[in-house]
């Protein structure tokens, strides 16, 4: 992937600056951007989307019975090294946890594949008996399980997701399982207060209402 040169970055910022109608921008709105620690990351996503406002249609997706669907966007890099992706998603992940050891089951793509991705997060308020429940629902919606790196990207790019959604603790789960040490598990990211970690959960376990299962369109 070719990186942006210093000259190109200056040209980009000049282009954006000259086209802004500053008289139409409220002072308090500008100040909120100045104070927003995530502003740079949001601006990066805006540029990667070709300078367009992100707008995805959710038409056709029916929420689970007694459930909810939230759609977020994230810049996903399927070529990112596993340990780097885990570390970015879960800074509080234990050093000896198995999540670090399963990267071989999810090999990185070659050639640099960063792209803006629409991620559908589905939740069952009363929980589910096991991971097959959301899988059955997703097939009816013509959705596919999101990759672990997609879930990790959400963890990194939305560090305050649990506060924004008013759900604490909460987990975002990838249903792409792998077997390690004889156990079949699925990657996930947990938000809990100021803590955020990446871990592996059992497909066959019961998942409470704090779990959000991640999918993408076919």
Listed residue (118, 127, 129) closest to 65, CA to CA:
127
* Rounded Cα gap, residues 94 and 72, in angstroms: 27
Give the orientation angle of helix 148-157 with respect to helix 82-89, to 10 degrees: 40
Cis before 169 (ω within 30): yes
Residues 47 and 54 sit within 8 Å (Cβ to Cβ): no
pLDDT of residue 54: 52
Q: Are strands 114-124 and 143-145 parallel, antiparallel or unpaired?
A: unpaired
Taking the CA of residue 108 as centre, how many other CA atoms within 13 Å lie in the half-sphere pointing to its CB?
15
* SS3 of 105-158: HCCCCCCCCEEEEEEEEEEECCCECCCHHHHHHHHHCCEEECCHHHHHHHHHHC
Q: How many other C-beta atoms can be found within 10 angstroms of the C-beta atom of residue 194?
A: 7
Residues 185 and 144 sit within 8 Å (Cβ to Cβ): no
CA dihedral for 97, 190, 126, 213, sign (positive or negative):
negative
* Rounded Cα gap, residues 29 and 13, in angstroms: 19
| Token code pair at residue 152 | 């990790």
pLDDT of residue 206: 80
As beta bridge partners, residue 119 has 72
Tens digit of pLDDT at every position of the chain (218 positions): 567 888 888 887 888 778 777 777 778 777 887 888 777 876 776 676 566 555 445 557 999 988 999 999 999 999 999 999 999 999 999 999 999 999 999 999 987 678 889 999 999 999 998 889 999 999 999 999 999 999 999 999 999 999 988 999 999 999 999 998 888 899 999 999 999 999 998 876 788 999 999 999 98
């Amino acid at each position: 992937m070719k990186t942006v040169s210093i000259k190109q970055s200056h040209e980009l910022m000049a282009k954006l600056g000259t086209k802004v109608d500053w008289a139409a921008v409220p002072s308090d709105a500008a100040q909120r951007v100045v104070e927003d620690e995530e502003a740079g990351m949001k601006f990066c996503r805006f540029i990667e989307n070709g300078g367009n406002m992100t707008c995805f249609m959710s038409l056709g997706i029916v929420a689970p019975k007694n459930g909810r669907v939230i759609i977020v966007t994230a810049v996903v890099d399927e070529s990112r090294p596993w340990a780097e992706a885990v570390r970015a998603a879960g800074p509080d992940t234990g050093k000896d946890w198995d999540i670090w050891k399963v990267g071989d089951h999810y090999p990185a793509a070659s050639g640099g594949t960063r792209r803006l991705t629409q991620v559908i997060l589905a939740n069952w308020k009363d929980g589910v008996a096991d991971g097959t429940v959301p899988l059955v629902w997703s097939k009816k919606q013509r959705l596919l399980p999101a990759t672990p790196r997609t879930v990790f990207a959400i963890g990194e790019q939305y560090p305050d997701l649990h506060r924004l959604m008013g759900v604490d603790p909460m987990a975002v789960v990838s249903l792409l399982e792998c077997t390690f040490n004889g156990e079949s598990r699925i990657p996930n990211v947990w938000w809990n207060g100021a803590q955020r970690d990446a871990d592996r959960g059992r497909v066959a376990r019961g998942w409470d209402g704090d779990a959000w299962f991640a999918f993408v369109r076919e």
